[in-house]
Amino acid sequence: MYHFRWIKSGKISTSLAWSFAVILVLFSGIAYRVLASRLRLLVYTSISLPLPLSAFPMQIDNWQGKELPIPNITKEYMERHFADDFISRRYVNAATKAWADVYVVYCSSQPGGILGHRPRVCYPAHGWIHESTQQSQVISLTGRVIPCLVHHFHKPSPESDEIVILNFYILNGLLTDDESVFSGVGWRTPNIASNPAHYVSQVQISSVLESSIRIVAEEMTDLILDFFPDEKNEVKVAKFETTKN
């Protein structure tokens, strides 16, 4: 009799243990899905600048800008690689008739998403032939040294198109021309804290004449930098807008 009760009790205990294990697995699965969903929401949610890049002025001294359409393939790349904000414009100098295209992209939700999006990769993919790349620098109007790479490309015969691109990056307010400095794990993981001061921005200025891109870089880089958090996490243009209002 007692032996039978012990067996029966043992069966009940085993059944309860299995039930508890099944419930634990179910709750673990639900918790995992909830956490994964929240993580996806964080990763795919854009991080906004205090003042959007669309507020970048169209008129800068003698330079008059207009919006420049971005090719669909570039838009798709940007959407896949977490571009949080960007501008693409052509500026024409009313006095000299010189022109340059200014492209600025801000990546904060996943800063390293901009990796690989550089002229030596993108332009050959669109049929341009690479001629040369030189490491150089430009001095802004406030005396800031801007390290940059200057790339020369041309279209294959019978086309005669040529283009020169000046490229550099802004990392948390610091300037660099070296993509490898933001290729580490810390840059390639999502910005879970949604901190807009943790970012990589790319600046490309292109034209047919190298003199044009250098002049635009000299005259516009300080203002471009004012839209992004600096080394102290301050955004100068946002403070100016607050004071003005």
User: What confidence score (pLDDT) does residue 116 get?
Assistant: 82
Amino acid at 161: D
Band of pLDDT at residue 188, cut at 50, 70 and 90: confident
**Distance (Å, whole) CA 155 – CA 159:** 6
Bridging pattern class, strands 129-139 and 99-107: unpaired
How far does CA 63 lie from the centroid of its chain?
25
219 three-class SS: helix
* Beta carbons of 203 and 169 less than 8 angstroms apart: yes
Q: What is the pLDDT of residues 122-157, one digit of tens each?
A: 899 889 999 999 999 999 999 999 999 999 999 998
**Distance (Å, whole) CA 91 – CA 103:** 11
Q: What is the pLDDT of residues 197-226, one digit of tens each?
A: 999 999 999 999 999 999 999 999 999 999
User: What confidence score (pLDDT) does residue 9 get?
Assistant: 53
Q: Which two tokens stand for residue 118?
A: 């550089």
Band of pLDDT at residue 181, cut at 50, 70 and 90: very high
Band of pLDDT at residue 28, cut at 50, 70 and 90: low
Average pLDDT of span 168-184: 94
User: What confidence score (pLDDT) does residue 24 get?
Assistant: 63
Is this prediction's pTM over 0.75? yes
CB atoms < 10 A from the CB of 217, how many? 24
**110 pLDDT more than 70:** yes
Parse the chain into domains and list their residue ranges: 1-43, 53-244
DSSP letter at 27? H
Amino acid at 151: H
**244 pLDDT more than 80:** no
Range of 22-26, 42-46, 68-72, 195-199 with top mean pLDDT: 195-199
User: What confidence score (pLDDT) does residue 77 get?
Assistant: 65
User: What confidence score (pLDDT) does residue 70 get?
Assistant: 77
Q: What is the pLDDT of residues 47-106, one digit of tens each?
A: 999 999 999 999 999 999 999 987 676 667 666 666 899 999 999 999 999 999 999 999
Between helices 210-226 and 236-244, what is the axis angle to 10°? 60
